[in-house]
A and B are shown apart, each in its own frame.
Chain A
Amino acid sequence: MNTVFYISSALAVFATLKAITNKVAIHALLYFIVSLLSVAVVLFVLGAPFVAALEVIIYAGAIMVLFVFVIMMLNLGRETLNDESGMLKREMFIGPSVISTLLLAEIVYMLVHQTAMPLSLKTITPAEVGQLLFTKYMLVVELGAFLLMSGIVGAYHLGQKEKLVHHRFLKTEKDIA
């Protein structure tokens, strides 16, 4: 199981790096889906099969498909690709990479200087998660429901096309288009 963990971790990091450095949006998205699937394997190894399944079904299955649909809808052509090539220069990576490396060094320093804590890798069943979800975290579940509802309303409202208001005698159909 340890080998599986290390291989899928390496794959996740590699695919995520490819996702943020890619120029084409749909390629980056596919790399991110690969990263999500390898993170799902890591979660399975860590003893969370329920969450691993949710990661595949909801994250890779639902959220990423939403991304794919929107990218298809935007229909980004050749000229946006050229824009992106102009925007994405190698020296632009220097500053953010330095910041990230410093933060990573801090985290590694903290992890090295703590007492070792082995993971149990014991499977936590969906029944335990569900029991906790509907007893201790009941209020948070309801807040999550509020959030989803407001998300639906907000997405519907923002996604609407602006309606052209025109007088039926003053404009012909040709002017509107």
Chain B
Amino acid sequence: MNIGIEQGMLLAAVLFLIGLTGLLVRRDIVFMLISVEIMLNAAGLAFIVAGSAWRQADGQVMFLFILTMAATEVAVGLALIIQLFMKLKSVDIDRANTMKG
């Protein structure tokens, strides 16, 4: 069976939805950030598949921008996790449900 746009898009969708499920199920903030990374990676894969279908380099350019955004988001997100852990001594997001302190 030759690879069409369907197979590539299906892979991207499955990876994205696994990431979404992880984000909804987990309450550990480190795992939530990993799930967001899974979703971003799947979105980038969808861009590459579309770029391959139309024989254009634009898809790869978009992947580079997604990569940039993911790197920035991880840096800031991990800094926030460290702050949260220093305050709460836990990575459970449910304990951070108050704005106080």
Contacts and interface: CB of A to CB of B under 8 A. Distances in A.
B69 to A, nearest CB: 7
Given A20-B26, A96-B20, A111-B6, A48 B85 contact: no
A107 B90 contact: no
Consensus secondary structure, chain A interface? helix
Consensus secondary structure, chain B interface? helix
A32 B34 contact: yes
Contacts of B56: 124
B96 interface: no
B28 to A, nearest CB: 6
Bin chain A's interface residue count: 35 or more
A51 B58 contact: no
Given A1-B3, A87-B27, A108-B10, 5 more contacts: A42-B11, A66-B74, A111-B10, A116-B4, A128-B57
B76 A20 contact: no
Given A20-B18, A20-B25, A32-B38, A159 B31 contact: no
A129 B27 contact: no
Contacts of A7: none
A92 B25 contact: yes
A4 to B, nearest CB: 10
Given A16-B18, A20-B18, A47 B34 contact: no
B80 A46 contact: no
Nearest to A8: B11
A46 B74 contact: no
Contacts of A169: none
A2 B78 contact: no
Interface of A: 1-2, 5, 9, 12-13, 16-17, 19-20, 25, 28-29, 32, 35-36, 39, 42-43, 45-48, 50-51, 54, 58-59, 62-63, 66-67, 70-71, 73-74, 76, 80, 83-84, 87-88, 92-93, 95-97, 99-100, 103-104, 107-108, 111-112, 114, 116-122, 124, 128-129, 131-133, 137, 140, 144, 147-148, 150-152, 154-159, 161-162
Contacts of B80: 158
Nearest to A103: B17
A40 to B, nearest CB: 10
A43 B65 CA distance: 16
9 contacts: A9-B7, A16-B19, A29-B34, A54-B64, A70-B30, A80-B91, A112-B6, A132-B61, A158-B79
Given A25-B28, A74-B85, A12 B5 contact: no
A71 B2 CA distance: 42
Closest 7 CB pairs of A and B: A20-B22, A151-B72, A158-B79, A96-B24, A100-B17, A155-B75, A159-B79
